[in-house]
Amino acid sequence: MNNAKNILVTGGAGYIGSHTCKILAQEGYQPIAYDNLSAGHRRAAKWGPLELGDILDRTALDRVIKKYSPSACLHFAAFAYVGESVTDPGKYYRNNVVGSLTLLEALRDHGVDQFVLSSTCATYGVPDRVPIDETLTQAPINPYGATKLMVERMLADFHAAHQLRSVALRYFNASGADPDCEIGEDHDPETHLVPLVLEAACGDRDAITVFGTDYETPDGTCVRDYIHVTDLAKAHVLALKGLEAGLTHRAFNLGNGHGYSVREVIASVERVTGRSVPVKFGERRPGDPARLISNSTRAANELQWRPEMTELDDIISTAWEWYQRRAQEKSRQN
């Protein structure tokens, strides 16, 4: 590994970042996880050095970039709670926008000209058609989506001014866990549907609340496109290889192209775990589109990326294995 290319991975101790570090290492790269551990976990940085630092800290960024001379940066470090972004927008604009700008300027000044952004389908807002392809107008309806769209705009401008070559990956609902059960989803607070339903199935949560049952969908609940986290990780490495091969400035949607409703997710958890899930029903949440489904044809054609784990039960099975593993670890610690 001494001759491996160093890749700076901001947020490399987080959920998607750590899974990507594992794939990077498997593909012969040396991931350098750069994380302030506000949401990441030291134990998740297993495939290369962990450097503690914040993307708002230019001095720390300069130190790490100078130390490792990375050939590229994969940027995951961001706050990503939609609801919190509405109640505390300043936190999101400061970290996601100013932090990303600080990072981009540091990379520019050190001559790092390849960049992969963890972006989101939230940049599209409420789509006027599904499935969503990259030609759809981006009109975010919350500060989280707005901050990611602003970073995408910065990438376009840095490409024009400084020849930064970049790929923005707009993903849909990241889910599941490493099939080897080495890492998984461990947020605090947890807001993602699959782990919340697993908590309810295990009695670690009183019930799962279904927000809205009157949407124009087959069963009245919201439909989302669930993409396995390892498939997302592989897409980042393919994007990196695309940049190495000459890709300049591009955006790609990442999803399975198939939607599952909230009720279908609950039913899948019940099948996988063999347990019943207590359910409560609530009002619609403002800004929740009825259906978000990806058209990922561009990624298939240009990156040769296709998700390998497409069945909901298979995705949830990996999350369940990880959930059980973490529960065992916590019980031993107690």
Per DSSP, 21 falls in state: H
Catalytic member of 144, 171, 215, 260: 144
Is there a domain that residue 1 lies in?
A: no
Q: Which two tokens stand for residue 328?
A: 């065992």
More confident residue, 163 or 191: 163
Give the mean model confidence (pLDDT) for residues 59-64: 98
Task: Give per-residue pLDDT as tens, 42-54.
Answer: 999 999 999 999 9
Write down the pLDDT at residue 174: 96
Give the mean model confidence (pLDDT) for residues 56-68: 98
Is there a domain that residue 284 lies in?
A: yes
Residues in contact with 3: Cβ distance below 8 Å, sequence separation at least 6, in sequence order: none
Checking if the pLDDT of 83 tops 80, the result is yes
**Total number of domains in the chain:** 2
Shared domain for 13 and 96, answered yes or no, is yes
Write down the pLDDT at residue 2: 53
Is there a domain that residue 187 lies in?
A: no
Shared domain for 236 and 216, answered yes or no, is no
Rounded-to-integer distance, Cα 231 and Cα 283, Å: 33
Task: Give per-residue pLDDT as tens, 243-261.
Answer: 999 999 999 999 999 999 9
pLDDT band at 191 (very low <50, low <70, confident <90, very high): confident
Task: Give per-residue pLDDT as tens, 220-239.
Answer: 999 999 999 999 999 999 99
Shared domain for 267 and 286, answered yes or no, is yes
Is there a domain that residue 180 lies in?
A: no
Closest residue by Cα to residue 215 from 262, 145, 277: 262
Per DSSP, 251 falls in state: E
Residue-number span of the structural domain to which 83 is assigned? 6-174+227-254
Rounded-to-integer distance, Cα 315 and Cα 280, Å: 24
Task: Please measure the distance between the N-terminal and C-terminal CA atoms of the chain and give it in whole angstroms.
Answer: 38
Prediction pTM value: 0.96
Per DSSP, 164 falls in state: -
Is there a domain that residue 136 lies in?
A: yes
Average pLDDT over the chain reads: 95
Is there a domain that residue 142 lies in?
A: yes
DSSP symbols for 92-127:
HIIIIIIIHHHHHHHHHHTT--EEEEEEEGGGG-S-
pLDDT band at 326 (very low <50, low <70, confident <90, very high): confident
Q: Please give the backbone phi and psi of residue 281, each rounded to the nearest 5 degrees, phi first.
A: -115, 135
Give the number of other Cβ atoms within 10 Å of residue 237's Cβ. 20
Task: Give per-residue pLDDT as tens, 169-189.
Answer: 999 999 999 999 999 998 778
Rounded-to-integer distance, Cα 25 and Cα 9, Å: 12
Task: Give per-residue pLDDT as tens, 8-30.
Answer: 999 999 999 999 999 999 999 99
Q: Residue 94 sits in a domain of what CATH number?
A: 3.40.50.720
Write down the pLDDT at residue 31: 98
Shared domain for 198 and 110, answered yes or no, is no
Q: Compute CA distances 125 → 167, 174, 220, whole Å.
A: 20, 17, 20
Q: Residue 219 sits in a domain of what CATH number?
A: 3.90.25.10
Q: Is 211 left (phi over 0), alpha (psi -120 to 50) or beta?
A: beta
Write down the pLDDT at residue 285: 84
Say whether 144 is catalytic. yes
Is there a domain that residue 185 lies in?
A: no
Checking if the pLDDT of 211 tops 90, the result is yes
pLDDT band at 65 (very low <50, low <70, confident <90, very high): very high
Burial class, 27, CB count within 10 angstroms (exposed 0-12 / middle 13-18 / buried 19+) = middle
Closest residue by Cα to residue 184 from 37, 326, 311: 326
Checking if the pLDDT of 287 tops 80, the result is no
Q: Please give the backbone phi and psi of residue 251, each rounded to the nearest 5 degrees, phi first.
A: -125, 145
